[in-house]
Structure 1
């Protein structure tokens, strides 16, 4: 009896400790369940936001395609005074997101973007045709690098790499690709960032070059109505950078209607006859569409390449890239 009375406080202590451990375990389990639920809710919310952003961007691309199709039907030239060249400032898409749908107040969706004439930039795929470097285009790209105060030797580096990738690329006319050709093939360059794989190119050079070059899926003309002065001075070897700047200022008021009009203006301004019109035009078939969708804490940036087809009346999306 005495021994039982002595063990009673000890048993009570063990019971209290056990109860505390069970309470702690229960609290831990409940907290874990709440945390997992919060993670799942946040994951579902992020998926919903991502889908909403993608649908908004898809609508924006459809809108851009419609603008480009309408412009192609209304005019045979493309210049910076047309509707497609007007950027879209940040625009709230009111009532797109339901109110009070989550505890963190996602907020309204905001859309912004712009359309850039891809043929206002130098198409690096012009440097080579079927694996052979084009010396005329190589000289043009070299002059562009000089105008941008970049090393001129980079022109040869890029041209040789592009030519080599074309020469080793598997033929699309054959359904069979030999193992040797697939191993030796060099992946073609498709975006400006691919230049970083070449010797001599770095992020600072790409930063200066990015707004002046592009990779397009075929050989294209330079649009004199939209190209910057640095590219115009590179395209016309007898044109100085100052003269090209004057030409850009002239077209702001009255875009060039056709090649004879361009030639007459250059004759009047600089006393030069426009004799070389190779790969020079006043219209474009390729456009870059840049879009940004912001929904609360989530943001989606997209760039798409859109091509005009069927005599400029319809459009086709060549590629879309998110970043």
Structure 2
């Protein structure tokens, strides 16, 4: 007995549906391939843009080093070439940014250099392997000038932290993540100088005779400004207030440049100098910079000159440490870096201490 044949119309319907399914599958596969290709192209473009931005900032950093090297002299003040900020400079003629010639491009570079020794270096709170009461008092006055609550407690806590960080067994820079969580920028061709290791002071009385680290959590030395968050009592709001007045330099014997320091810093580091008098002193400095520390002393109020007759402390009119800030915008992508550079007073050769993205 033969089976009944299916109608030709039913078979045509099945064929149409099958063809539609196959077409849909093919379109989906092709669309997926195009999407993957687009993602790969975008990824390559982003990598190229990031690399271009890093090379631009690397060139800007070399430029800043050249300016600092050429301006090497016995006095640094706000009228020096390094102190002139770099306004937005278009780099369209020098950078291939992937756009057509008819399209408007936006490769822009800007930056500025800051005298790091115009700010108070918290590492000076420890001198000779022990707490420096004079510097702790100066840091307390600075916090008071900036209207930070519990200034004395914060200054003491910072000194205690720094002293603990110098004990045997303390974490060294690079052994863990920075307290501030800042990211280090990998700039092509850039070299980061290694911070000289500070000799450890004698072990604390609580430590063992063999030099083992005392019990308790190990402290990491402060290397950047944001690391102050590791000190008990500091917060993001306090750091925002201290940003332009406090810094962290690798050496603990740096001096304040009286030609670039703010009135708040000068009032803190010069005993008996009121903030109002420091403001007047800064105004006179803007008209004629200090040629040396003797010139600075002669311009102090008479009462202050008598109070500091024994010595002004760690003050100078030249600088060895600078903060180089750079910003590049390329195709709506922005990259900012900050570098700490050192220009020793011996030979003036500029070297990079660290570079990080900000």
The two structures have a TM-score, normalised by structure 1, of 0.90
Q: Which residue of 1 aligns with 2:35?
A: 35
Q: Does 1:4 align with 2:39?
A: no
Instruction: Tell me the SS of whatever aligns to 1:37.
Output: helix
Distance between the aligned counterparts of 2:23 and 2:331, measured in 1?
Answer: 39
320 and 76 in structure 1: CA distance in 2 versus 1, 3 angstrom threshold? same
1:53-89 Cα offsets, whole Å, 9 max, x none, are 11111111111011111111xx301000111001111
Q: CA deviation at 1:282?
A: 0.7
Distance between the aligned counterparts of 1:181 and 1:18, measured in 2?
Answer: 76
What stretches of structure 1 of length at least 5 have no aligned partner? none
14 and 102 in structure 1: CA distance in 2 versus 1, 3 angstrom threshold? farther
**Is the contact made by 1:97 and 1:108 (CA closer than 8 Å) also made in structure 2?**
no
1:131-176 Cα offsets, whole Å, 9 max, x none, are 52111110000000000000212111111111110124379689xx
149 and 89 in structure 1: CA distance in 2 versus 1, 3 angstrom threshold? same
1:76-225 alignment to 2 at 5 Å?
76-98=74-96, 101=99, 107-129=105-127, 131-151=129-149, 152=151, 153-168=153-168, 169=170, 181=213, 185-219=218-252, 220-225=254-259
The two structures have a TM-score, normalised by structure 2, of 0.82
310 and 248 in structure 1: CA distance in 2 versus 1, 3 angstrom threshold? closer
Question: Which range is displaced more, 312-321 or 230-239?
Answer: 312-321
Question: Which range is displaced more, 279-288 or 161-170?
Answer: 161-170
Q: Which residue of 1 aligns with 2:21?
A: 21
**Is the contact made by 1:112 and 1:293 (CA closer than 8 Å) also made in structure 2?**
yes
The alignment yields a C-alpha RMSD, in angstroms, of 2.6
Among 226, 235, 247, which residue is 2:260 paired with? 226
Distance between the aligned counterparts of 2:128 and 2:104, measured in 1?
Answer: 52
1:54-65 alignment to 2 at 5 Å?
54-65=54-65
Q: Does 1:296 align with 2:331?
A: yes
1:1-56 Cα offsets, whole Å, 9 max, x none, are 882143x3332222212111111111111111111111111111111111111111
Distance between the aligned counterparts of 2:58 and 2:256, measured in 1?
Answer: 29
Instruction: Tell me the SS of whatever aligns to 2:327.
Output: strand
Q: Which residue of 2 aligns with 1:287?
A: 322
Among 272, 281, 298, which residue is 1:264 paired with? 298
What stretches of structure 2 of length at least 5 have no aligned partner? 173-196, 201-209
Q: Which has the higher helix share?
A: 1
Instruction: Tell me the SS of whatever aligns to 2:273.
Output: coil
Q: CA deviation at 1:99?
A: 6.9
